[in-house]
């Protein structure tokens, strides 16, 4: 389980373990029973009549229709699958939360101890329960993420949970308001499941900090080989990469439906690549950074980290858009730059006629990249291999200056009672608690804090010059390359994307603020384990529609995603329609319960005994359950105890 340290100024609530949270939610371990009968794995579809709601003039739920699926399995499920299961009352949002909590307990706190979460949300189940009760009520807006459990990198503000950046000095820091993207997620109906670990303060505390390490959370482990480096300092043998390590781990191991990461340079793309998932690093200005612990506003962005391109596109549409608190998003007020729905660009045939440029790739990825190129060509793309890398940036970096300016601005929005109000305060806290706060030092913090960020200072003038030169060099390099051999934009020889092995686009594209999408490509052997490797599609500013389309088309023909063996399916991952008592089988015990309740009004839209969904428990439900039953005992008619109504 994630580490918790007793720091003197922290409130006790910041030290709650997930065991205590689970207990407070009443999440006792379920009693599991094996299904019986040859047809246990394939329960038949409900074939009864389409019922009419008995809950008044407007239905409070969608009644179960004939031939509706009756089995739900959590691992690798998509948002589309989740919404279908909730809409048809097969599974509730509260059940989903509990199922994910069971996986977190099994694989994050125990088993391989992946350590993706810093904290789960103690209110998640209650929030989900309220959404379940409201889902089918007239007037309820069911957004694209309604009832879907989403986990956030613990750098994104949540008004109901601490936001720590993984730093012990920030443990217990509860913001006064949600980040802009948190509000957007809640408005779309999402249930915030918890806060995910990361490389501390977005991997800009010091030099040499291992990916996925933080002083508050310890080490996160890549689920594809979750073992400690032999003879090391406790770090993993296979890095989960960073800084959005927890987001990558949780998505890969099916510990959340969707996750959010952030990137300054590689912090979405690298962990997505390392953990075998999809990551979208958006154009800077597409997604607001308000309420997100920063490195620098010049390059920072948040983005989706998911198991499929379709889910990533859906999530990107939810979080994108103009925010008056973030001037960079003013670009979204220009039509055609930002969209609320990126799923409209999911085109399985997008590679046909596309022009793709592939710069040199590492020698140890030759076989995988050659195979990818062959697939793209077979799908109708023209692939041009570039013999040299794109022109790089010679301008010095600007992260230290930006960090002092923007971290100070972030801390300034915290309550005045919070003892850390500046980067200098955080440095001082770390020095006073060095044994737990400074395992790897804080050289970057110190370098950033030493700069003079006052207007007109020498450091400010140097920063402006380096920032502007870096933008010019990176954008000229990318735009000029994508304009094709004739150097003219909008002509037939333009490239639709530059395609890299893994997260190869991270550095240059991050400096420009341009978008990239990484998707799983293949598996390679390393340290006697099969580990994932990806491929990234990089494009022009606000070119997300094009690169999402290309990444989706490639994903559909390649199918490079494979769930990690360290986090297999649990018995609690499966839900069957008709399993009234929750023993993971449909049998005569369930039949007896439903029979005994004939004549009762359903307790709500997700009453398991209301099989046909008409709002009352009737003989139709008894008949429907008998059809679903996985044991011969259910075939015998059962005497009802009440009349059907």
Q: Please name every residue paired with 498 in a beta bridge, in sequence order, or none if there are none.
A: 357, 538
- What are 195's strand-pairing partners? 119, 152
Catalytic residue numbers? 153, 243, 267
**Length of the chain in terms of residues written:** 645
The pairing of strands 529-538 and 516-526 is: antiparallel
Return the structure tokens found at 610: 């209301």
d(CA 263, CA 270): 9
Q: Which residues pair with 281 in a beta bridge?
A: 516
CA–CA separation, 28 vs 35, rounded Å? 21
Give the dihedral of Cα atoms 413, 418, 422, 427; nearest 10 deg. Answer: -150
Q: Which of 268, 498, 476 is nearest to 360 (CA)?
A: 498
Q: Which residues touch 354 (CB under 8 Å, ≥6 apart)?
A: 376, 380, 381, 382, 496, 497, 550
Gyration radius (Cα) of the chain, Å: 26
Specify whether the CB–CB gap between 255 and 283 falls below 8 A: no
The answer to whether the CB of 579 falls within 8 A of the CB of 33 is no
User: Computed from CA positions of residues 232, 236, 241, 242, in that sequence, does the dihedral angle turn out positive or negative?
Assistant: negative
The residue among 277, 275, 245 whose CA lies nearest residue 258 is 277
Distance, CA of 289 to CA of 306 (rounded, Å): 20
- Identify which of 248, 346, 224 has the alpha carbon closest to the alpha carbon of residue 304: 248
For CA atoms 437, 245, 573, 121, the dihedral sign is positive
For residue 280, the surrounding DSSP H or E stretch is strand 278-281
For 74-136, give the DSSP string.
-TT--HHHHHHHHHTTSS-HHHHHHHHHHHIIIIISSTT----EEEE-TTHHHHHHHHHHHTT
Neighbours of 220 (CB within 10 A): 39
Q: How far apart are the first and last CA of the chain?
A: 51
Paired residues of 516 in beta bridges: 281, 538
The Cα-based distances of 53 to 59, 324, 525, 615, 624 in angstroms read: 5, 44, 56, 6, 17
HSE value, Cβ hemisphere, 13 Å, CA-based, for 32: 9
Q: Which of 277, 215, 280, 222 shows the shortest CA–CA distance to 246?
A: 222
């Amino acid at each position: 389980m994630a580490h918790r340290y007793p720091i003197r100024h922290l409130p006790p609530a910041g030290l709650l373990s997930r065991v205590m949270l689970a207990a407070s939610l009443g999440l006792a371990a379920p009693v599991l029973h094996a299904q019986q009968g040859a047809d246990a794995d394939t329960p038949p579809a409900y074939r009864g009549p389409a019922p009419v709601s008995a809950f008044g003039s407007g239905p409070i739920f969608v009644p179960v229709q004939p031939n509706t699926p009756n089995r739900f399995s959590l691992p690798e499920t998509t948002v589309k699958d989740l919404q279908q299961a909730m809409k048809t009352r097969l599974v509730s949002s509260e059940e989903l939360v509990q199922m994910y909590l069971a996986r977190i307990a099994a694989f994050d706190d125990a088993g391989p101890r992946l350590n993706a979460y810093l904290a789960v949300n103690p209110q998640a189940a209650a929030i989900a329960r309220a959404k379940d009760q409201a889902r089918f009520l007239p007037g309820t807006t069911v957004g694209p993420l309604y009832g879907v459990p989403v986990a956030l990198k613990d750098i994104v503000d949540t008004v109901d949970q601490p936001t720590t950046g993984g730093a012990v000095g920030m443990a217990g820091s509860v913001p006064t308001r949600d980040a802009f993207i948190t509000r957007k997620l809640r408005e779309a109906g999402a249930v915030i499941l918890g806060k995910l670990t990361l490389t501390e303060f977005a991997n800009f505390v010091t030099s040499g900090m291992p990916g996925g390490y933080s002083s508050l959370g310890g080490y996160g482990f890549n689920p594809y080989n979750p073992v400690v480096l032999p003879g090391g300092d406790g770090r993993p043998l296979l890095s989960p990469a960073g800084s959005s390590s927890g987001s990558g781990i949780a998505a890969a191991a099916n510990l959340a439906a969707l996750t959010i990461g952030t990137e300054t340079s590689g912090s979405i793309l690298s962990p997505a690549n390392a953990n075998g998932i999809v990551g979208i690093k958006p154009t800077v200005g597409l997604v607001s950074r308000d309420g997100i612990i920063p490195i620098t506003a010049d390059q920072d962005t948040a983005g989706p980290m998911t198991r499929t391109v379709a889910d990533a596109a859906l999530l990107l549409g939810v979080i994108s858009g103009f925010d008056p608190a973030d001037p960079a998003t003013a670009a979204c007020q220009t039509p055609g730059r930002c969209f609320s729905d990126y799923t409209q660009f999911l085109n399985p045939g997008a590679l046909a006629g596309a022009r793709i440029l592939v710069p040199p790739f590492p020698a140890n990825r030759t076989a995988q990249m050659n195979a990818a190129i062959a697939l793209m060509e077979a799908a109708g793309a023209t692939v041009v291999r570039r013999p040299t890398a794109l022109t790089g940036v010679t301008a010095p970096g600007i992260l230290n200056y930006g960090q002092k300016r923007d971290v100070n601005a972030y801390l300034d929005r915290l309550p005045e009672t919070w003892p850390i109000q500046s980067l200098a305060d955080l440095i001082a806290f770390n020095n006073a608690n060095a044994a737990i706060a400074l395992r790897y030092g804080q050289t970057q913090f110190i370098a950033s804090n030493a700069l003079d960020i006052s207007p007109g200072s020498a450091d400010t003038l140097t920063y402006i010059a380096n920032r502007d030169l870096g933008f010019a060099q990176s954008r000229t390099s990318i735009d000029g390359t994508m304009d094709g051999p004739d150097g003219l934009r909008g002509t037939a020889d333009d490239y639709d994307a530059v395609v890299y092995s893994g997260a190869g686009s991270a550095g240059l594209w991050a400096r420009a603020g341009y978008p990239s999408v990484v998707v799983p490509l293949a598996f390679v052997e390393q340290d006697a384990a099969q580990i994932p490797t990806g491929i990234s599609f990089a494009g022009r500013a606000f070119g997300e529609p094009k690169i999402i389309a290309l990444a989706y088309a490639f994903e559909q023909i390649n199918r490079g995603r494979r769930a990690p063996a360290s986090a297999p399916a649990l018995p609690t991952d499966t839900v069957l329609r008709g399993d009234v008592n929750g023993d993971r089988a449909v049998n005569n015990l369930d039949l007896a319960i439903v029979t005994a309740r004939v004549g009762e009004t359903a307790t709500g839209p997700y009453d398991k005994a209301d099989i046909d969904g008409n709002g009352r428990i009737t003989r139709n439900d008894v008949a429907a359950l008998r059809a679903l039953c996985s044991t011969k005992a259910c075939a015998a008619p059962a005497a009802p105890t009440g009349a059907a109504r």
